Amino acid sequence: MKITLQNIGRRFNREWIFRGIDYTFEEQNSYAILGSNGSGKSTLLQVLNGSLNPSAGTIKYSNTGADIEPENVFNYLSLAAPYLEVIEDFSLTEMIDFHFKFKKYRPGMDKQAVASILNLQGSNNKLIRYFSSGMKQRLKLALAFCADTPMLMLDEPTSNLDNQGIDWYLSLIEQYSAGRLTIICSNQEHEYSFCNHTLSIADYKKQAV
């Protein structure tokens, strides 16, 4: 999966959040989008995943050399973010089954394997509403990790995780990001230390006037 940005900008009303981004996210590479809280990291990620249109510039997607229309890019990505909700009236099993109606499992994975990664085999029938915030975050991450997509996008992946949860994330991220275009939005180095490229939102603020 490859994403090419040409003079990309996004504004709200008359205020530019960022502007003038020329950048290429190459397939099978890992990238960290860096910036302080409120700097526009999540906004850029939403532009990248097609849920927000850019206010300026063009964005192009391709997978193994074939162009992809922006409205279809969701088929090629897995996303976990604090603002994404899980369905609290579902049980764990129902949530996993629902998610994988829209995504394929990675080879060798099934819902028992997802529950095993979460270490929640005894909670298959527990409603999501009774999960802690940390367990909901683990669930979002596990669903993204275990889907067979060429692109993985994670926004503040260790939010709501304790130290044990952070170790869990770090133990899985390199394994499940391998071979995928991976983009992490973060201002905490432990979340993105494995990334081999960085993009700083601050570099595109000086033009945002």
As a three-state string, the secondary structure of 117-160 is: HHCCHHHCCCEHHHCCHHHHHHHHHHHHHHECCCEEEEECCCCC
Residue 209 lies in a domain: no
Cross-strand bridge partners of residue 62: 2, 67
pLDDT tens for residues 168-185? Answer: 999 999 899 999 999 999
How large is the average pLDDT for residues 3-32?
A: 95
Residue 96 lies in a domain: yes
Host domain of residue 13: 2-204
201 has a pLDDT exceeding 80:
yes
Residue 187 lies in a domain: yes
CATH number at residue 27: 3.40.50.300
HSE of 10 in the Cβ direction (CA atoms, 13 Å)?
19
Rounded Cα gap, residues 40 and 202, in angstroms: 9
Structure token digits, residue 13: 């009303």
Residue 200 lies in a domain: yes
Whether the CB-CB separation of 55 and 9 falls below 8 Å is answered with yes
Amino acid 205: pLDDT: 81
Amino acid 46: pLDDT: 96
pTM: 0.93
When pLDDT is cut at 50, 70 and 90, the band that residue 208 belongs to is very low
207 has a pLDDT exceeding 70:
no
When divided into structural domains, the chain yields a total of: 1
Rounded Cα gap, residues 174 and 159, in angstroms: 18
206 has a pLDDT exceeding 80:
no
